[in-house]
């Protein structure tokens, strides 16, 4: 039987073997830099770009797939331009019956109504009939104002009936129509981030055009730089901000619009007049959750620079850049030191 004592190894040899083993361990352990990859696809009628920071390419691939699949799933569940989704059924049954929906759809509608409360009705998911009458991207025409005014009784978000117990949504008047275009992309960004994380991503960005959510950081330890678009000079940025575990959303009158007789008609409507809102050129909101950033950008665009910025300053963890109708930029107090010039 061989024991330590019976096998005398010179001290120097032990030292050398130990060092060789240690060096071998270090050498065998590859110095793994996280991989960063980026991919774009069209979903929800917009360009969706995913950036993934992952320990290796196989995790990166899985996270990419998980992110895009989640966005595709939500398009199936929530879109109101496809006839076969839960929300389309709720709209089709307006004035007739309450429709049973998934817990997820119910929660999103409840979050949307919270945003409506927070913005004193500036954000309004009941604007569907007016959004349809304008149909800014498809038909470039100005609807007759008397026709628009007839829609007023149908855009009352306070009349939407949500039953948590029965898990149903009821629109009490025929012709009412939920439109979640003002919040859906922010929600999709939140959900895609959750799925990418679950698939093993350690950082990344989900960008559905101007609705963006970041998580973790870049391999060098920096946050993700996001550029904020100049509302009147296409392709030019007004500022850059670095984000870590934050969402950013911009609502702008330059995103979807047409010009007729020198007047710009765009896609964000006043719940009062049902006309495009004229008090801002763009509103950018930073918040922890995409659903908050997206709901607030639209709602604050409607409230306007003064009331909107007062609301932002009252909300913890929410920051804003508001560009008013004349092009003057106001930045919330917590964001001023974080902006970089492009
Ligand atoms: P966003 O780019 O986030 O401001 O969303 C704009 C979209 O929200 C529009 O295309 C409409 O579908 C919808 N929308 C328009 N006006 C409002 C409003 N006042 N409140 C809620 N959603 C709106
Ligand atoms: Mg929005």
Contact 194, 122 (CB under 8 A): no
Has residue 144 got a pLDDT over 60? yes
> Residue 26 above 60 pLDDT?
no
Which of 28-32, 72-76, 276-280, 314-318 shows the lowest mean pLDDT across its residues?
Answer: 28-32
Span 319-333, mean pLDDT? 98
Best residue among 269, 271, 295 to mutate for probing ligand 1's pocket (most ligand atoms within 8 Å of CB) is: 269
Cα–Cα distance for residue pair 312/286, rounded to 1 Å: 10
Distances 38 to 49, 60, 74 between C-alpha atoms, Å: 7, 10, 21
Q: Is the pLDDT assigned to residue 25 strictly greater than 80? A: no
The pTM for the full model equals 0.90
Output the six-digit token pair for 83. Answer: 């006839």
Question: For residue 302, which atom of ligand 1 is closest to its CA?
Answer: 19
Distance 17 CA to ligand 2 centre (A): 64
pLDDT value at 61 more than 80: yes
- How many whole angstroms from 288 Cα to the centroid of ligand 2? 15
Q: How far apart are alpha carbons 86 and 80 in whole angstroms?
A: 8
21 pLDDT above the threshold of 60: no
The predicted pLDDT at position 98 comes to: 98
Query: What φ, ψ does residue 176 adopt, rounded to 5°?
Result: -65, 155
269 lines ligand 1 (CB under 6 A): yes
Secondary element (H or E) of residue 11: helix 11-28
Residue 198 vs residue 259, higher pLDDT:
198
Percent of the chain with pLDDT over 90: 82
Alpha carbon distance 32, 333 (integer Å): 40
Residue 101 DSSP symbol: -
Q: Is 267 in the pocket of ligand 1 (CB under 6 A)?
A: yes
CB 55 within 8 A of CB 201: no
Averaged over 124-145, what is the pLDDT? 91
- CB pairs under 8 A, 24+ apart, for 99-103? 99/168, 99/169, 99/170, 100/166, 100/167, 100/168, 101/167, 101/168, 101/169, 102/77, 102/167, 103/167
**Distant-in-sequence, close-in-space partners of 104: CB < 8 Å, separation ≥ 6:** 77
Q: What pLDDT, on a 0 to 100 scale, did the predictor assign at position 81?
A: 82
**Amino acid 30: pLDDT:** 53
pLDDT of 27 over the 70 cut: no
Is 69-182+217-342 CATH 1.10.3720.10? Answer: no
């Amino acid at each position: 039987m061989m024991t330590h004592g019976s096998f005398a190894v010179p001290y120097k040899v032990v030292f050398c073997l130990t060092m060789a083993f240690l060096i071998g361990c270090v050498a065998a352990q590859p110095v793994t830099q996280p991989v960063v990859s980026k991919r774009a696809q069209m979903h929800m009628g917009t360009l969706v770009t995913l950036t993934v920071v992952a320990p290796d390419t196989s995790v990166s691939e899985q996270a990419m797939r998980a992110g895009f699949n989640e966005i595709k799933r939500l398009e199936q569940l929530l879109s109101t331009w496809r006839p076969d989704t839960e929300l389309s059924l709720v709209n089709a049954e307006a004035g007739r019956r309450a429709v049973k929906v998934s817990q997820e759809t119910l929660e999103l509608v409840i979050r949307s109504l919270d945003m409506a409360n927070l913005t004193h009705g500036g954000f309004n998911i009941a604007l569907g009939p007016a959004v349809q009458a304008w149909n800014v991207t498809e038909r470039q025409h100005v609807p007759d104002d008397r026709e628009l005014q007839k829609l007023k009784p149908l855009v009352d978000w306070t009349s939407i009936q949500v039953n948590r117990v029965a898990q149903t949504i009821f629109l009490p008047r025929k012709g009412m129509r939920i439109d979640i275009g003002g919040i859906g992309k922010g929600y999709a960004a939140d959900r895609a981030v959750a799925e990418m994380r679950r698939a093993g991503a350690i950082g990344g960005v989900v960008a559905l055009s101007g609705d963006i959510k970041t998580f973790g950081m870049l391999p060098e330890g920096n946050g993700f730089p996001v550029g904020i678009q100049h509302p009147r000079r296409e392709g030019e940025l007004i500022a850059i901000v670095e984000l870590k575990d934050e969402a950013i959303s911009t609502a702008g009158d330059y995103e979807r619009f047409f010009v007729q007789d020198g007047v710009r008609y765009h896609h964000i409507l006043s719940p009062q007049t049902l006309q495009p809102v004229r008090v801002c050129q763009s509103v950018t909101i930073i918040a922890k959750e995409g659903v908050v950033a997206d709901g607030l950008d639209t709602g604050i665009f409607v409230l306007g620079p003064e009331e909107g910025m007062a609301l932002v300053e009252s909300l913890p963890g929410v920051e804003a850049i508001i560009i008013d109708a004349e092009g003057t930029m106001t930045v919330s107090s917590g964001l001023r030191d974080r902006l970089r010039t492009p």
